Amino acid sequence: MINSNQRAPQRPPVENLIMDDIFMDQEERSRAQSYYQQVQQEAELNMCKFCNKQINDIEKRNNNVTMLQSSDCFHQCHIDCLREEAVNQMSNSQSVKCPRCKENIQQWELNTMLSEEEKKTIEKNQILSIVKENPNFVSCHCGNIMEFVPGQIVKGQKDDRGNPMTHEAAQHMANFRIRCLECNKNFCTQCNAEPYHTGKTCSDFNAKSCRYCADKLTQPSPSMKPAFREVCRKADCFGLMQQSCDKMLPCGHPCFGSNGEAKCMPCLDPECIEKMDPRVAPRENKDDFCNICYCSGLGQEPCLSLGCGHVYHVSCLKQRIQKQWNGPRIVFNYLDCPQCKQEIEAPHCEQINSILKKERQLQAVVVKKVMERAKFEDLHKDERLKKVGDPFYNDLKGYALKKLSYYQCFKCQDAYFGGMKDCEAAQDEAQSFKKEELVCGKCAAVAVGGGVKQCPKHGQDFIEFKCKFCCSIAQWFCWGNTHFCEPCHKKQCNQ
């Protein structure tokens, strides 16, 4: 046995044995040379023709070796070596050859070896090679290749913010902006920005700009905080900076939320959103327009991410809630997300929660009155509530809110019943009206100096007046002395 510390004696090459053995006669020497040639041929057969390394039995058992068939040479090689050579050669639109016999390897054989990812890499590199060799050709992100011809300058163009475009920006747009006919997206052929940076040259677009107004920064920021490094000194931008969150997120981007929020909202940068779990990721990014104002991007003003995932400007959402309902009739759709219609939830934004709390209180009062009135009007006996498949099946609250009309009294600000409301009439309720003419029964009784002001059983909620002209329940109190129902009030307004 050989000691572990000793090396096993190495066998000298057959060629050396033949040349060094001086005691061999001619016949023995001939047999040795024949044996040597046979060993060399076997070694040649079991050698990869791409990397020139021996192919062992383990690689054969693991199916890591192939025999070239389409070239009719049947040389063996490693599959990984063949795939690497195929990617390199085919990316440059060159044929793949056997290194030993220089015969072409057919495409069908290569396709059986290449993975889908490698095929995409080859296709992408071929496109880039074509574009590189032809300066008039450009490639879109979708893979489409187009021939680009510069256009003419169009006078009177405006940028994304509606400002007149400079001559330099208009010239750049004519020379480098193109729209892909396959994906219908426009991009810049010079810097590959998608979409095209309308109103800016590539240098202006890539230069640092104000996060609020997008103008090029020419002076230091008014704040030393990292979140406000890219803010100009305009009065409007300075005001937006004071309303914005001053924290930096772990990803390195500034928080796009509002000042005073209890918890920072998720990052709105598109690259960060792609890495998030889709169940918690925002549904818009900083470049998308606010779906309430449609005037500026979400990253240009302090934002708020609702519980449903939709993002809006804080100021836009606040204004929408404070404006309340459209038309005379009280409806609470302004408390829902404008896109998915779920109830607005903003647990970390105090300025939104404070106004939501007030509106929810009004909603609770109206719902309570609606449910009491529904029983009085026998709506709980309606067949629609019992019919399976009906939108209001087992939903008395929703059905009552749909059928009963409540208005807000101009004098006491309380909600009062104004009669039944069908779908046809609801279509016209956004007509122009005067809030001063919406007066509840108790305030109207005081105004005319008569009638019952307090019912001993129902209080003031069920005090009603009839229309002066048709005796239906009145919803309008005009001129300080006349009650109108909805149809008669429309007739009077149209005269």
Catalytic residue among 423, 440, 443, 485: 423
Q: Is the pLDDT of residue 31 over 80?
A: no
Q: Which residue has the higher pLDDT, 186 or 41?
A: 186
Q: Is the pLDDT of residue 423 over 60?
A: no
Active site residue 101: no
Percent of the chain with pLDDT over 70: 86
Contacts 24+ apart (CB under 8 A), 141-146: 141/183, 141/185, 141/187, 141/192, 141/194, 142/180, 142/182, 142/183, 142/185, 144/180, 144/181, 144/182, 144/183, 146/178, 146/180, 146/181
Determine the pLDDT at residue 3: 44
Q: Is the pLDDT of residue 208 over 60?
A: yes
Determine the pLDDT at residue 310: 92
Catalytic residue among 48, 140, 440, 478: 478
Q: Give the pLDDT mean for 450-471.
A: 68
Note the pLDDT tens digit of each residue in 144-157: 878 888 888 888 88
Note the pLDDT tens digit of each residue in 434-459: 778 788 777 777 765 555 556 666 66
Q: Is the pLDDT of residue 143 over 50?
A: yes
Provide the pLDDT confidence category of residue 253 given band limits of 50, 70 and 90.
Answer: very high
Name which of 265, 256, 263, 251 is nearest 230 in CA terms.
Answer: 256
Q: Give the pLDDT mean for 266-290.
A: 90
Q: Give the pLDDT mean for 245-249.
A: 92
Determine the pLDDT at residue 322: 92
Which residues, including other chains, have CB under 8 Å from residue 376's CB and lie 6 or more apart?
462
Determine the pLDDT at residue 256: 94
d(CA 196, CA 172): 11
For the entire predicted model, the pTM comes to 0.57
Q: Is the pLDDT of residue 315 over 90?
A: yes
Q: Is the pLDDT of residue 83 over 80?
A: yes
Active site residue 478: yes
What average pLDDT does the chain have? 81
Q: How far is CA 423 from CA 9, 430, 473, in A?
A: 101, 13, 18
Q: Does domain 46-120 have CATH number 3.40.50?
A: no
Q: Where are the domains of the chain?
A: 46-120, 409-494
Determine the pLDDT at residue 364: 92
Q: Which residue has the higher pLDDT, 17 or 415?
A: 415
Provide the pLDDT confidence category of residue 23 given band limits of 50, 70 and 90.
Answer: low
Q: Is the pLDDT of residue 396 over 80?
A: yes
